[in-house]
Amino acid sequence: MDLEKCISPDGGDRCFPFLFMEVKKEAADLQAAYLPNLNNASQALHNMYLWMARAGQFDDFFNRIRVFSLVFNAQDLSVRVHRAARLPVDGIGFRFAEYRPLARYDRDQACVLVSSILKNYAAEELHRILKRRIWRSLGKKTHELWVSARRKQPETRIQSA
Protein backbone atom coordinates (compact mmCIF):
# COMPACT_ATOMS: atom_id res chain seq x y z
CA MET A 1 0.00 0.00 0.00
CA ASP A 2 1.29 3.47 -0.93
CA LEU A 3 1.27 5.30 2.37
CA GLU A 4 3.21 8.38 1.33
CA LYS A 5 -0.04 10.13 0.36
CA CYS A 6 -1.06 9.87 4.02
CA ILE A 7 1.76 12.16 5.11
CA SER A 8 0.45 15.16 3.16
CA PRO A 9 -3.11 14.32 2.12
CA ASP A 10 -3.81 17.71 0.55
CA GLY A 11 -0.43 18.30 -1.05
CA GLY A 12 3.06 19.03 0.19
CA ASP A 13 2.34 21.96 2.47
CA ARG A 14 1.15 20.12 5.57
CA CYS A 15 2.29 16.96 7.23
CA PHE A 16 -0.15 14.88 9.29
CA PRO A 17 -2.80 17.51 10.04
CA PHE A 18 -3.91 17.32 13.68
CA LEU A 19 -5.90 20.52 14.33
CA PHE A 20 -9.14 21.36 12.55
CA MET A 21 -11.35 24.44 12.91
CA GLU A 22 -14.84 25.30 11.73
CA VAL A 23 -15.99 28.86 12.25
CA LYS A 24 -19.63 29.89 11.98
CA LYS A 25 -21.10 33.38 11.83
CA GLU A 26 -22.47 35.19 14.85
CA ALA A 27 -24.80 32.95 16.88
CA ALA A 28 -25.05 30.19 14.27
CA ASP A 29 -25.78 26.69 15.53
CA LEU A 30 -22.51 24.83 15.98
CA GLN A 31 -24.01 21.41 15.22
CA ALA A 32 -23.52 21.84 11.45
CA ALA A 33 -19.82 22.48 12.02
CA TYR A 34 -19.18 19.28 13.95
CA LEU A 35 -19.57 16.85 11.04
CA PRO A 36 -16.79 18.19 8.78
CA ASN A 37 -14.42 18.28 11.75
CA LEU A 38 -15.39 14.75 12.80
CA ASN A 39 -14.69 13.49 9.29
CA ASN A 40 -11.35 15.33 9.07
CA ALA A 41 -10.22 14.18 12.51
CA SER A 42 -11.13 10.55 11.80
CA GLN A 43 -9.27 10.62 8.47
CA ALA A 44 -6.22 12.21 10.10
CA LEU A 45 -6.17 9.54 12.82
CA HIS A 46 -6.56 6.81 10.21
CA ASN A 47 -3.61 8.20 8.20
CA MET A 48 -1.42 8.32 11.30
CA TYR A 49 -2.55 4.81 12.25
CA LEU A 50 -1.37 3.41 8.91
CA TRP A 51 2.11 4.81 9.48
CA MET A 52 2.32 3.90 13.14
CA ALA A 53 1.16 0.36 12.28
CA ARG A 54 3.89 0.13 9.65
CA ALA A 55 6.41 1.09 12.35
CA GLY A 56 4.85 -1.42 14.79
CA GLN A 57 4.01 1.36 17.25
CA PHE A 58 0.46 0.40 18.22
CA ASP A 59 0.79 1.27 21.92
CA ASP A 60 2.14 4.76 21.22
CA PHE A 61 -0.60 5.34 18.68
CA PHE A 62 -3.51 4.33 20.88
CA ASN A 63 -2.13 5.86 24.08
CA ARG A 64 -0.54 9.09 22.88
CA ILE A 65 -1.82 10.24 19.47
CA ARG A 66 -4.58 12.85 19.61
CA VAL A 67 -6.23 15.12 17.05
CA PHE A 68 -8.08 18.31 17.97
CA SER A 69 -11.07 20.04 16.46
CA LEU A 70 -12.42 23.45 17.35
CA VAL A 71 -15.86 24.75 16.45
CA PHE A 72 -16.84 28.28 17.24
CA ASN A 73 -19.05 31.22 16.47
CA ALA A 74 -19.06 34.74 17.87
CA GLN A 75 -20.22 33.50 21.28
CA ASP A 76 -19.23 29.91 21.96
CA LEU A 77 -16.18 27.77 21.41
CA SER A 78 -16.10 23.99 21.64
CA VAL A 79 -13.08 21.71 21.60
CA ARG A 80 -13.01 18.02 20.84
CA VAL A 81 -10.03 15.79 21.54
CA HIS A 82 -10.16 12.83 19.14
CA ARG A 83 -8.38 9.51 19.61
CA ALA A 84 -8.45 6.05 18.11
CA ALA A 85 -9.58 2.99 20.04
CA ARG A 86 -8.85 -0.66 19.41
CA LEU A 87 -11.80 -2.70 18.21
CA PRO A 88 -12.24 -6.33 19.34
CA VAL A 89 -11.88 -7.51 15.75
CA ASP A 90 -8.90 -6.25 13.73
CA GLY A 91 -9.34 -2.52 13.22
CA ILE A 92 -9.81 0.81 14.89
CA GLY A 93 -12.70 3.00 15.96
CA PHE A 94 -12.71 6.68 16.75
CA ARG A 95 -13.71 8.40 19.98
CA PHE A 96 -13.70 11.97 21.20
CA ALA A 97 -14.13 13.93 24.40
CA GLU A 98 -15.90 17.26 24.10
CA TYR A 99 -15.06 20.35 26.10
CA ARG A 100 -16.94 23.61 26.06
CA PRO A 101 -14.66 25.72 28.19
CA LEU A 102 -15.34 29.05 26.56
CA ALA A 103 -18.90 30.33 26.48
CA ARG A 104 -18.79 34.03 25.80
CA TYR A 105 -15.08 33.79 25.12
CA ASP A 106 -12.84 36.61 24.00
CA ARG A 107 -10.05 36.59 21.45
CA ASP A 108 -7.30 36.24 24.04
CA GLN A 109 -8.91 33.14 25.57
CA ALA A 110 -9.26 31.53 22.14
CA CYS A 111 -5.63 32.32 21.29
CA VAL A 112 -4.39 30.86 24.57
CA LEU A 113 -6.38 27.67 23.91
CA VAL A 114 -5.01 27.21 20.38
CA SER A 115 -1.51 28.14 21.53
CA SER A 116 -1.60 25.54 24.30
CA ILE A 117 -2.65 22.82 21.83
CA LEU A 118 0.17 23.79 19.48
CA LYS A 119 2.86 24.21 22.13
CA ASN A 120 1.95 21.70 24.82
CA TYR A 121 0.81 18.83 22.64
CA ALA A 122 1.86 19.32 19.02
CA ALA A 123 5.38 20.62 19.56
CA GLU A 124 6.20 18.74 22.75
CA GLU A 125 4.60 15.36 22.13
CA LEU A 126 3.08 14.73 18.69
CA HIS A 127 6.04 16.01 16.69
CA ARG A 128 8.46 13.91 18.72
CA ILE A 129 6.37 10.75 18.33
CA LEU A 130 5.84 11.14 14.61
CA LYS A 131 9.40 12.15 13.87
CA ARG A 132 10.87 9.22 15.76
CA ARG A 133 8.39 6.60 14.57
CA ILE A 134 7.45 7.65 11.06
CA TRP A 135 10.90 8.49 9.74
CA ARG A 136 12.15 5.19 11.07
CA SER A 137 9.52 3.36 9.03
CA LEU A 138 10.17 5.46 5.93
CA GLY A 139 13.76 4.45 5.72
CA LYS A 140 16.66 6.78 5.08
CA LYS A 141 16.31 7.03 1.29
CA THR A 142 12.60 7.91 1.30
CA HIS A 143 13.18 10.41 4.10
CA GLU A 144 15.95 12.12 2.12
CA LEU A 145 13.73 12.29 -1.00
CA TRP A 146 10.89 13.82 0.99
CA VAL A 147 13.14 16.41 2.66
CA SER A 148 14.70 17.26 -0.71
CA ALA A 149 11.27 17.76 -2.30
CA ARG A 150 10.22 20.04 0.56
CA ARG A 151 13.33 22.20 0.10
CA LYS A 152 12.56 22.71 -3.60
CA GLN A 153 9.14 24.23 -2.89
CA PRO A 154 9.01 28.02 -3.06
CA GLU A 155 8.88 29.71 0.31
CA THR A 156 5.58 31.32 1.20
CA ARG A 157 5.73 34.64 2.99
CA ILE A 158 2.80 36.34 4.60
CA GLN A 159 3.03 40.08 4.90
CA SER A 160 0.73 42.37 6.77
CA ALA A 161 0.07 45.97 5.95
pLDDT per position as a tens digit, 104-157: 778 888 888 889 999 999 988 988 888 777 666 666 666 666 666 666 655 554
- d(CA 77, CA 130) in angstroms, rounded, equals 28
Q: Tell me whether strands 76-86 and 19-23 are parallel, antiparallel or unpaired.
A: unpaired
Q: Which residues contact 125 (CB under 8 A, 6 or more apart)?
A: 64
What spatial distance separates the first Cα and last Cα of the chain, rounded to whole Å?
46
* pLDDT one-digit tens code per residue, 45-75: 998 898 888 888 889 899 999 999 999 888 8
Q: Is the CB of residue 94 less than 8 Å from the CB of residue 82?
A: yes
For 20, 31, 34, 109, the CA distances from 38, given in Å and listed in that order, are: 9, 11, 6, 23
Residue 77 CB burial class (10 angstroms; 0-12, 13-18, ≥19): buried
Q: Would you say residue 6 has pLDDT above 60?
A: no
Whether the pTM exceeds 0.95: the reply is: no
